[in-house]
Structure 1
Amino acid sequence: MQPDELILRLQQKDEKAFERIYALYSESIFGVINSVLHDTEASEEVLQDVFIKVWDNSESYTSKKGRFFTWLLNIARNAAIDKTRSKAFKNQKKNLTQEYFVDILENKSSFTSKVDAIGIKKYIKTLGEECKKVIDLLFFKGYTQKETSEELNMPLGTVKTRNRLCINKLREILVN
Structure 2
Amino acid sequence: MSKPDEELYRRLLHKDKDALEQLYDKYEKLVFSFSYKMTNNHGLSEEVVQDVFMKLWTQKGTYDESKGKFSSWLLTIVRNAAIDLMRKKKDTPYELDERDALQTNEPSIEEMYESKEEATAVRQSMKVLKEDQQKVIRLFYFDAKSHREIAEQLDVPLGTVKGRIRMALKHLQTEMTERGRGGDTT
Provide the TM-score with structure 2 as the length reference. Answer: 0.78
Q: Establish whether residue 105 from structure 1 lines up as the match of residue 101 from structure 2.
A: yes
* Matched-pair contact (CA < 8 Å) for 1:11–1:58: no
User: Larger % of helix: which?
Assistant: 1
Question: SS state of the match for residue 125, structure 2?
Answer: coil
CA RMSD of aligned residues (A): 2.4
Q: 1:106 to 1:43 in 2, by over 3 A?
A: closer
- 2-side partners of 1:22 and 1:83: how far apart? 20
**1:8 shift after superposition:** 0.8
Of 4, 8, 11 in structure 2, the residue corresponding to residue 9 of structure 1 is 11
- What is aligned with 1:45? 47
Q: 1:111 to 1:153 in 2, by over 3 A?
A: farther
Q: 1:126 to 1:13 in 2, by over 3 A?
A: same
Q: 1:154 to 1:11 in 2, by over 3 A?
A: same
Q: Establish whether residue 93 from structure 1 lines up as the match of residue 93 from structure 2.
A: yes
Q: 1:153 to 1:166 in 2, by over 3 A?
A: same
CA shift digits 1:18-75 (9 cap, x unpaired): 1121122222222221122110111111111111111111773232344322321221
Gaps of 5+ in 2: 179-186
Provide the TM-score with structure 1 as the length reference. Answer: 0.81
- What is aligned with 1:117? 111
- 2-side partners of 1:33 and 1:137: how far apart? 15
CA shift digits 1:74-113 (9 cap, x unpaired): 2111111111111xx2212259xxxxx6x7436264132x
Q: Establish whether residue 77 from structure 1 lines up as the match of residue 79 from structure 2.
A: yes
Identity of aligned residues (%): 33
Q: Give the length in aligned residue pairs.
A: 166
- What is aligned with 1:98? none
Q: 1:7 to 1:94 in 2, by over 3 A?
A: closer
- What is aligned with 2:140? 138
Q: 1:164 to 1:145 in 2, by over 3 A?
A: same
Question: SS state of the match for residue 13, structure 1?
Answer: coil
